Amino acid sequence: MTTAILLENIHASATARLGEAGLKVERRSGALAGDELRQVLASHDLVGIRSATHLRGDDIRSAPDLLSIGCFCIGTSQVDLDAATAAGIPVFNAPFSNTRSVAELVVSEAVMLLRKIPEKNALAHAGKWAKGASGAFEARGKTIAIVGYGNIGSQVGVLAESMGMRVVYYDVLARLSLGSARAAGTLEEAVSQADVVTLHVPATARTRNMIDAHVLAQFKPGAILINASRGTVVDIDALAAALRDKRLGGAAIDVFPEEPKTNNDPFVSPLQQLPNVLLTPHIGGSTEEAQENIGTEVAAKLLNFLNTGGTIGAVNFPEVDPGPLHAPARLLNIHSNAPGALAALNTLLAQDGVNINGQHLQTRGHTGYVVTDLDRAPSDALMESLRTHAGFVRSRLLVR
Ligand code: NAI
């Protein structure tokens, strides 16, 4: 029976999905390390982790029968991906499960900041009554500039437009405009016409300090900045200066150049104590729904690999989508990407008298992955020779 171990309180949706597919699923609430981790890796076919379990090269190499790793989160830097690839183990994650959560937060923060709610809320808690309309605006009719019009940025645009905002976006790639959104030719063109600027770019060398003192100087007086992308994108000291000088009307910042590693570490930022500034601890995508989506999405990717050999969505592996198994048998072969590997495999199959019904090959870096549908299961002797063949990393057989 195929078994999975899910660590770090992964959402119950994953357990349900894997359980329905007939797997025996074991759960642990915390992260594991050292011998305890190696023990569970060695005794299960699949492992599910979140960000706190580190799978180092030695851990991965200590589990020769581990089939796949599921990162039930967005990031995969906690896994030694090169070691996983070299061991023939695809790693899956859920990069887009929390898109909607971020988009909702951003649009609601825009409303809160346009109404100066952070400072009015603080005053009310302090027993002060700040009733008044001055400096408070509706979102309707205002312009939102979306910097990075990808998965999250484009959803922010749809939500903002449904509230009557004008949407302009800036992206380095040509993107399909949703609704009435308009593309701006430059970053400056986008930010200079906006009442609200929201950032949805990845952390790259090019986006590092993309919003610096020079760009902030192009913002409309009183404009609002929202950053729920990555902390490196904004020059935080320049932003603090613009807020202190009241050149900007407010900001909502979810991500910081330096973030505490755990909830027990202190958080310090030059933006603290500034009025009309919402500071949140990198929770843009952190909702129950996102966790549930992540559970379902990663479980589905693991099951797809288990049952069909498909590796679509793997972060470290050649991506192959062979579809459901209709042939009597399917051979999954991972090999070093070198001349002759495919020929060697096909020769061995021919020598065993097995006919090939179909074949899908993909390579990535040093790794080749070939999925071969066969008219019958190869002999045990052939499977053994595949497993010991120089240059072949792994061979797994699916039988209908
Ligand atoms: P995506 O990859 O779908 O979209 C990013 C867009 O930015 C793409 O359209 C890309 O062409 C564009 N882009 C890249 N470099 C650019 C540049 N120099 N100038 C203008 N546009 C540029 O990414 P997605 O999923 O929309 O995520 C956006 C950001 O949100 C990422 O940084 C991600 O890490 C972050 N994020 C934050 C979360 C949170 O909890 N606060 C949760 C999820 C994602």
In the chain, where the domains are located: 1-97+287-317, 99-279, 318-400
Catalytic, 259? Answer: yes
Average pLDDT score over residue span 228-252: 97
Contacts with 341 (C-beta within 8 Å, 6 or more apart), sequence order = 335, 368, 370, 391, 392
Model confidence at 263: pLDDT above 90:
no
Residue nearest to atom 30 of ligand 1 (CA): 229
Residue type, 78: Q
Question: Looking at ligand 1, which atom is closest to the CA of residue 210?
Answer: 18
∠ CA 161-162-167, nearest 5°, is 0
Q: Is 145 in the pocket of ligand 1 (CB under 6 A)?
A: no
CATH code for 1-97+287-317? 3.40.50.720
CATH number of 318-400: 3.30.70.260
Of 50, 99, 104, 100, residue with least CA distance to 77? 50
DSSP-derived secondary structure for 182-232: EE-SSHHHHHHT-SEEEE-----TTTTT-B-HHHHTTSPTT-EEEE-S-GG
Q: Is the CB of 102 under 6 A from ligand 1?
A: yes
- Could you tell me the distance, in angstroms and rounded to a whole number, from the CA of residue 230 to the centre of ligand 1? 8
The stretch 190-217 carries a mean pLDDT of 97
What pLDDT is attached to residue 9?
Answer: 92
Mean pLDDT for 169-178 is 97
Nearest residue CA, atom 42 of ligand 1? Answer: 285
**Average pLDDT in the 208-215 region?**
98
- pLDDT (tens digit, 9 = 90+) per residue, 302-316? 999 999 999 999 999
Ligand 1 centre from 266 Cα, in Å? 27
Distance CA 110, CA 115 (A): 9
Mean pLDDT, residues 255-278 taken together:
93
Q: Which of 51, 152, 188 to mutate to test the pocket of ligand 1 (most atoms within 8 A of CB)?
A: 152
Model confidence at 75, pLDDT cuts 50, 70, 90, reads: confident
Q: Does the beta carbon of 93 lie inside 6 Å of ligand 1?
A: no
User: Is-contact 11 27, C-beta < 8 A?
Assistant: no
Pocket lining: 202 vs ligand 1, CB cutoff 6 Å = yes
**Residue from 102, 101, 135, 132 nearest 116 by CA:** 135
* Predicted confidence (pLDDT) at residue 179 exceeds the cutoff of 90: yes
Provide the percentage of residues in the chain whose pLDDT is more than 90: 96
* Banded pLDDT at 87 (limits 50, 70, 90): very high
Segment 42-51 mean pLDDT: 95
CB atoms within 10 A of CB 391: 13
Q: Residue 83 is inside which H or E element, if any?
A: helix 81-86
DSSP per-residue letters across 101-134: HHHHHHHHHHHHHHTTHHHHHHHHHTT------T
Of the candidates 183, 176, 178, 148, the one whose C-alpha atom is nearest the C-alpha of residue 160 is 178
230 is catalytic: yes
The pLDDT mean for the chain works out to 96
**For the whole model, what pTM was predicted?**
0.86
Distance from residue 110's CA to the centre of ligand 1 (Å) = 18
Instruction: Give the model's pLDDT for residue 35.
Output: 95
Distance CA 255, CA 144 (A): 20
> What pLDDT was estimated at residue 344?
95
Segment 101-114 shows an average pLDDT of 98
- Please tell me the distance between residue 150's alpha carbon and the centre of ligand 1 in angstroms: 6
- Name the pLDDT band for 74 (thresholds 50, 70, 90): confident
| Catalytic residue list contains 8 | no
What confidence score (pLDDT) does residue 17 get?
A: 97
Q: Is the pLDDT of residue 121 over 90?
A: yes
Q: Average pLDDT of 173-186?
A: 97
Cα of 371 from ligand 1 centre, angstroms: 33
Q: Which helix (H) or strand (E) holds 81?
A: helix 81-86
> Band of the pLDDT at 219, cuts 50, 70, 90?
very high
Reported as a single tens digit per residue, the pLDDT across 127-147 is: 999 999 999 999 999 999 999
Count of residues in the chain: 400
pLDDT at residue 51 above 90?
no
> Is the pLDDT assigned to residue 338 strictly greater than 90?
yes
**How confident is residue 1, by pLDDT bands cut at 50, 70 and 90?**
very high
Average pLDDT (199-214) is 96
Residue 273 Rama label (left phi>0; alpha psi -120 to 50; beta): left
pLDDT band at 200 (very low <50, low <70, confident <90, very high): very high
Contact by Cβ (8 Å): 319, 362:
yes
Does the pLDDT value for residue 107 go beyond 90? yes
Least confident of 33-42, 116-125, 257-266: 257-266
Phi-psi region of 141 (alpha: psi -120 to 50; beta: other; left: phi over 0): left
* CA pair distance 257, 241, nearest whole angstrom: 16
Compute CA 143 distance to the chain's CA centroid, rounded to the nearest angstrom.
Answer: 29
Asked whether the domain spanning 99-279 has the same topology as the one spanning 1-97+287-317, the reply is yes
Q: How confident is the model at residue 105 (pLDDT cuts 50, 70, 90)?
A: very high
What type of residue is 270?
Answer: P
CATH class of 99-279: alpha beta
226 Cβ below 6 A of ligand 1:
no
Q: Do 217 and 191 contact (CB within 8 A), yes or no?
A: no
Left (φ > 0), alpha (ψ -120 to 50) or beta: where does 177 sit? beta
Strands 329-336 and 392-399 come out as: antiparallel
Expressed in angstroms and rounded, the spacing between residue 118 Cα and the centre of ligand 1 is: 26
Residue 289 and residue 296 in contact, taking contact as beta carbons nearer than 8 Å: no
Q: How much is the pLDDT for 194?
A: 98
Comparing 191 with 95, which gets the higher pLDDT?
A: 191
Which of 138, 259, 289, 384 is catalytic? The answer is 259
Enumerate residues 6+ apart whose C-beta is below 8 A from 125: none
Mean local confidence (pLDDT), 44-73:
96
